[in-house]
Amino acid sequence: MPVNSNDQAPGKPLLSLVVPFYNESSAIGPFFQRIGPILAALDRFDCEIVCVNDGSADDTLAQLIATASQDRRLRVIDLSRNFGKEAALTAGLNEARGDAVIPIDADLQDPPELIPRLIAEWQNGYEVVLAKRVNRDSDSYMKRNSASLFYRLYNAVSDIKLPENVGDFRLIDRQVLESLKQLPENRRFMKGLFAWVGYRTTTVEYVREARSAGESKFSGWRLWNFALEGITSFSTVPLRWWTYCGFAISLLAFIYGLVIICKTLIYGIDMPGYASLLTVVLFLGGIQLIGIGVLGEYMGRTYLESKGRPIYLVRRRYQKTED
């Protein structure tokens, strides 16, 4: 069910919704059915919905084009392939023309009914309005606990703190969006970038819902890699840890050497067994390989950024033309 058409009127502020889509064929209908009445009630605003098709393999693009053909407010940005959610979100933000912009997922876990509250806080003078999940019972036990662990670990090692249980769903002012567009990095961790730009911020709370359709695109492995991306994007503490780790191991080795010398002087020649020697060698080898892996994460990011490739490529844009 398409959103009802509504031409933009002069003098009204424009609200942009940015919605990434990746194989969300079953979620498109419920999303527009639910978002339609909410936007219709915002009579003091003009609205646009920027839909980004992130290389979907199903009929997501066809459904989006069909919906856009009936509603002038819908704009469909079709990327040339699947670049990932962070790139798709960046594409939508770059395309958004609103005075206020709200990224939201199509799965409806973040309730669109919260949009009027976000707007009310924006009109009170806040430039960033965060939507915080106060209940995540709809998520699996593993996802809830891994998310909590990630936030604690990230905030422990990074100078830029992430508000816990806050995702991409938020309202940002046009000035904030223009600041985000100045950040040139290719490897995007949008939660960190949102936090980095700052601005006057407030929070509204809500209960996270179950997905309206489809299934999550983030497996355990992808979530793990996403966490590594976030930590290495905004902190060099892991590199510093290995400096301290090397110093501690060297100190222990020096102390152990002194112990062996003292035992030899007092009790005579001591011949330790091969098992202990092999254990120490394997332990130090493992430590070295982990350290090289951490260093490789940062070198890999530098290598990818040095290429200067665009974050995404747009294949085509779709929008209803004038009748």
Domains of the chain: 14-235+309-319 (3.90.550.10)
128-135 and 166-173 beta bridge pairing: antiparallel
Which tokens hold the place of 38?
Answer: 């909410």
Distance, in Å, from the CA atom of 64 to the CA atom of 166, rounded to the nearest integer, reads: 28
Q: Is the pLDDT of residue 2 over 50?
A: no
Beta strands in 36-127 (DSSP E): 46-53, 74-79, 100-103
Mean pLDDT of 186-193: 80
pLDDT, greater one: 172 or 184: 172
Mean pLDDT of 10-30: 85
Residue type, 117: R
Distance, in Å, from the CA atom of 125 to the CA atom of 199, rounded to the nearest integer, reads: 11
pLDDT single digits (tens) 226-275 = 566 666 666 666 766 766 777 777 667 667 667 766 776 776 665 555 55
Asked whether the beta carbons of 28 and 60 are under 8 A apart, the reply is: yes
74-79 and 46-53 beta bridge pairing: parallel
Residue type, 178: E
Residue 46 pairs in a beta bridge with 14
Q: For residue 19, which of 59, 67, 74 has the smallest C-alpha distance?
A: 74
Which tokens hold the place of 184?
Answer: 């040139």
The whole-number pLDDT of residue 10 equals 59
Asked whether the beta carbons of 76 and 48 are under 8 A apart, the reply is: no
Q: For residue 70, which of 93, 88, 49 has the smallest C-alpha distance?
A: 49
pLDDT single digits (tens) 194-223 = 888 888 888 888 877 655 454 555 455 565
The whole-number pLDDT of residue 79 equals 92
DSSP state of 50: E
Write down the pTM of the prediction: 0.68
pLDDT single digits (tens) 70-122 = 888 888 999 988 888 888 888 999 988 888 999 988 888 888 888 888 988 88
Mean pLDDT of 26-44: 85
The whole-number pLDDT of residue 1 equals 39
